Copies of this chain bind each other. A is one copy, B any other.
Amino acid sequence: MPAVTVNHIAVVVENLDTALPFWQTALGLPLGKVEDVPAEQVKVAFLEAGESHVELVQPTTADSGIAKYLAKKGAGLHHLCFEVDDIEAALAAMQAQGVELINDTPKERGGRRYAFVHPKSTGGVLVELYDRRVQP
């Protein structure tokens, strides 16, 4: 089976401008794109870390899912995303094991297919899967 790799680690922050200096300057991770994602009511900064990256996510409204998470749990590690060769096969394997999925079938954003796994099946971690094949 081809390797499953870590695509990104998502971190919820209150404010990108105050969070970035640690990750970019003190830790030295190269900053990639910074973008507004109005559909999800967040602003995201991507920092490169070898074959993975760190995504800092700041809510841009008070009532998004991320804003509510931040209000309830505070800033910090949010989810862990793995890249797989075939997301349908990965989801089928998980369902065969009784794993509870948040998305039974992949969603799609910008040509990237993804799905979330419920933390109750992972030991408390919100896990995201990415299909390695980017759609045309």
Residues of A within 8 A of B (CB): 1, 3-6, 9, 11-14, 18-19, 21-23, 25-29, 48-52, 54, 56, 74-80, 82, 84, 90, 93-94, 97, 99, 119, 121-125, 127
- Given known contacts A26-B99, A28-B93, A99-B26, A5 and B124 CB-to-CB distance under 8 angstroms: no
A25-B97 contact, Cβ under 8 Å, with A50-B51, A123-B13, A125-B77:
yes
B75 touches A26 (CB 8 A): no
Are B123 and A56 neighbours in the complex by a CB distance under 8 Å? yes
Copies in the complex: 2
A21 partner, pick from B26, B56, B79, B97, beta carbons under 8 A? B97
- Do the beta carbons of A9 and B9 come within 8 Å of each other? yes
